[in-house]
A and B are shown apart, each in its own frame.
Chain A
């Protein structure tokens, strides 16, 4: 018997799923995007949809995999809730009349989980003792299912559907195909491994990025953006059929798009976005409170947006390099795109540290967007002003970190900043030894009194905040620091002394 086209059934599968559209940016980011990419590169996949039915659904010629992704290292999964949610989708699609394969999948990175047996599953699903089957024509059955899934609470929706359509053999069928697929690597390694898999699809000689690590990074970032943009873009269609078409990513289109982008000089923004993804990836295992996790996800999403909209031209890239580099010279906007790309790769760790600093400061002050407190009119560097957060500085630069030979490096940074027109009053620059007040210039013919209060420093002076009070290392993201009493304050626990 020919398998009917699943596209006929999918639009109505979104009924009752509108919560997925209402809260963009709060989802379990990145891991589910990587799961979607893994599905896309499977030969049998025709297309995938993210955030349409469950986290990901992948359609093949004879069925559909409905995937829930969970990345919760060192935590037990709530198998009951997951099983209920996947069974709900399974029953729903069956009641709509789809006869192809429906494979419910839990893709997870967490403590090992056990597949429920029939008795446990019945308990999880709170099924009645006896078979209960709503009878009628297929249209009536579908209408009954739709009525169940429009109840006002999730529990009522699930209970209503389970109680209306319970057949023990159907539960056994569900348990027979229910898959728990463990991703053993942590998210950073998983992402890297997918980059390698993607790289194998393309001819490396056709890509201007010669370094294979960089090329793989770029590929996984590009792939992630292709997946994310489908559900993150504003103004998504409200009609379920149109939404399905909008969210759908066909395997062939996906691979063609990657090949096309790979064949030309990559845009600056995608190179930078690959660093942002890598930085975010390193924070996924941090034990954040739920509020902070949501806030970090929103910051990651808005950082992506900002990069896409503001780091495309050569001068915009120079602005970023000027902000993070600790070298004497950064390329100018008259340098070629290849030179700028190379400079970006050279500064990769510094760019990541820049994002860590911005995100941690903003987590501390509960800001959810990258752009808040940004001073867009300053073009020489990325300037912020946290004055509305009780920072004394009117204009600040959030930099990276000073590692080897800080005194030597800081001279180079100082020289570059001195040449800028609108110089920052404060440098947020991570260092173990550089801090306190400094001068942009000294007029030896005009002796000024010592300034004891940084808040009244002259335009020719600046302060360096060593960032020791702001933790960005592994395990430090769960700590909320009080910026008002540390980095925004005019007092320093070292007395501002280097």
Chain B
């Protein structure tokens, strides 16, 4: 199983990876804010994924940090804060390659740190607290198993959801509800907006009373 199997989840959902790998296997990123002092990519930064809307305006940025093998709790808060600092600087002063003229406003509330972690780390107190934080970016600790996002955590990915299946009970409940509600042809006055008591005619009131007495029964 590939160590990088998790990449498929992002690729299948239209996210564009921003780190380029040249033929010698060197990784390049044209966003200075996310690089180290010497211009290289930080070790923990596995990928940056960008999603644009239908007008090709950047609207979501996912920063995937690989912290597998980290000791539980150790330096997690600092790591998240440092990345927040870089994210803030990018949002304040940076630009996206290929989108230099576009505002980053839509990205402002849509940057997420996705931290690929061991199960123990993902469930530690610091991780829990960081996930609750709404400061600068959302943080999501994802448990990894053999290069894959653990089954239990897949639904946590921002774009991941199961198809809704129709429950048989739903249709039964709907028909029960239909019987209780007033008939539209007789009591259309109850379906009209802004109805006031004064607006009811004698005929309407009689029909409402009849419907209520049936409902009681």
B135 contacts A441, C-beta separation under 8 Å: yes
Q: Which chain B positions have C-beta within 8 A of A410?
A: 89, 92-93
B88 contacts A439, C-beta separation under 8 Å: yes
Q: Which chain A positions have C-beta within 8 A of B37?
A: 408
Minimum CB–CB distance from B49 to chain A (whole Å) comes to 17
Count of B residues near A, CB < 8 Å? 20
Q: How far, in angstroms, from A33 to B86 measured CA to CA in the complex?
A: 50
Q: Which chain B positions have C-beta within 8 A of A498?
A: 93-95
B105 contacts A450, C-beta separation under 8 Å: yes
Q: Per-residue CB proximity of B128-145 to A under 8 Å, as 1/0? A: 000000111110000000
Range class of the A interface residue count: 20 to 34
A411 on interface, CB distance cutoff 8 Å = yes
Select A442's contact among B33, B95, B108, beta carbons within 8 Å. B108
Q: Per-residue CB proximity of B70-99 to A under 8 Å, as 1/0? A: 000000000000000110110111110000
Q: Which chain B positions have C-beta within 8 A of A464?
A: 93
Minimum CB–CB distance from B117 to chain A (whole Å) comes to 21
Select B89's contact among A411, A443, A444, A446, beta carbons within 8 Å. A411
Select B33's contact among A408, A441, A446, beta carbons within 8 Å. A408
B134 contacts A446, C-beta separation under 8 Å: yes
Known: A411-B33, A450-B105. A442 touches B135 (CB 8 A): yes
Minimum CB–CB distance from A238 to chain B (whole Å) comes to 58
B153 on interface, CB distance cutoff 8 Å = no
Q: Which chain B positions have C-beta within 8 A of A19?
A: none
Q: How far, in angstroms, from A464 to B92 measured CA to CA in the complex?
A: 10
Q: How far, in angstroms, from A450 to B103 measured CA to CA in the complex?
A: 11
B136 contacts A441, C-beta separation under 8 Å: yes
Known: A407-B32, A411-B86. A434 touches B136 (CB 8 A): no
Q: Which chain A positions have C-beta within 8 A of B135?
A: 441-444
Q: How far, in angstroms, from A348 to B80 measured CA to CA in the complex?
A: 35
Minimum CB–CB distance from A292 to chain B (whole Å) comes to 34
Minimum CB–CB distance from A477 to chain B (whole Å) comes to 29
Q: Which chain B positions have C-beta within 8 A of A408?
A: 32-33, 37
B33 contacts A407, C-beta separation under 8 Å: yes
B109 on interface, CB distance cutoff 8 Å = yes
A184 on interface, CB distance cutoff 8 Å = no
Select A447's contact among B33, B109, B136, beta carbons within 8 Å. B109
Minimum CB–CB distance from A439 to chain B (whole Å) comes to 6
Majority secondary structure of chain A interface residues (helix, strand, loop or mixed):
mixed
A444 contacts B109, C-beta separation under 8 Å: yes
Q: How far, in angstroms, from A439 to B94 measured CA to CA in the complex?
A: 13
Q: How far, in angstroms, from A381 to B93 measured CA to CA in the complex?
A: 22
A415 on interface, CB distance cutoff 8 Å = yes
Minimum CB–CB distance from A319 to chain B (whole Å) comes to 23
A389 on interface, CB distance cutoff 8 Å = no
A421 on interface, CB distance cutoff 8 Å = no
Q: Which chain A positions have C-beta within 8 A of B134?
A: 443-446
Q: Per-residue CB proximity of A167-205 to B under 8 Å, as 1/0? A: 000000000000000000000000000000000000000
Known: A407-B33, A414-B85, A414-B88. A438 touches B137 (CB 8 A): no
A405 on interface, CB distance cutoff 8 Å = yes
B89 contacts A414, C-beta separation under 8 Å: yes
Select A438's contact among B32, B33, B86, B92, beta carbons within 8 Å. B92
Q: Which chain A positions have C-beta within 8 A of B94?
A: 407, 498
B85 contacts A411, C-beta separation under 8 Å: yes
Minimum CB–CB distance from A404 to chain B (whole Å) comes to 11
Q: Which chain B positions have C-beta within 8 A of A450?
A: 105
Minimum CB–CB distance from B162 to chain A (whole Å) comes to 26
Q: Kindly identify, within residues 448 to 468 of chain A, every residue whose CB is under 8 Å from any CB belonging to chain B.
A: 450, 464
Q: Which chain B positions have C-beta within 8 A of A414?
A: 85, 88-89, 92-93
Minimum CB–CB distance from B113 to chain A (whole Å) comes to 11
Q: Which chain A positions have C-beta within 8 A of B136?
A: 441-442, 444
Q: Per-residue CB proximity of A404-439 to B under 8 Å, as 1/0? A: 011110110011001000000000000000100011
Q: Which chain B positions have C-beta within 8 A of A441?
A: 88, 135-136
Q: Which chain B positions have C-beta within 8 A of A447?
A: 109
Q: How far, in angstroms, from A414 to B82 measured CA to CA in the complex?
A: 12
B108 contacts A438, C-beta separation under 8 Å: no
Q: Per-residue CB proximity of A123-161 to B under 8 Å, as 1/0? A: 000000000000000000000000000000000000000
For A407, A414, A447, A464, the residue with the greatest tally of chain B CB atoms inside 10 Å of its CB is: A407
Known pairs A407-B93, A438-B92, A441-B88 / 9 extra A-B pairs, C-beta < 8 Å: A408-B32, A411-B93, A414-B92, A439-B88, A441-B135, A442-B88, A442-B135, A445-B134, A498-B93
Listed from nearest, the 4 A-B pairs whose CB atoms lie closest are A438-B92, A445-B134, A411-B89, A407-B32
> Which residues of A does B touch, CB under 8 Å?
405-408, 410-411, 414-415, 418, 434, 438-439, 441-447, 450, 464, 498
A sample of 16 cross-chain residue pairs with beta-carbon separation below 8 angstroms, ordered by A number, consists of A408-B33, A410-B92, A411-B85, A414-B89, A438-B93, A439-B91, A439-B92, A441-B88, A442-B88, A442-B108, A442-B136, A443-B135, A444-B134, A446-B134, A447-B109, A498-B94
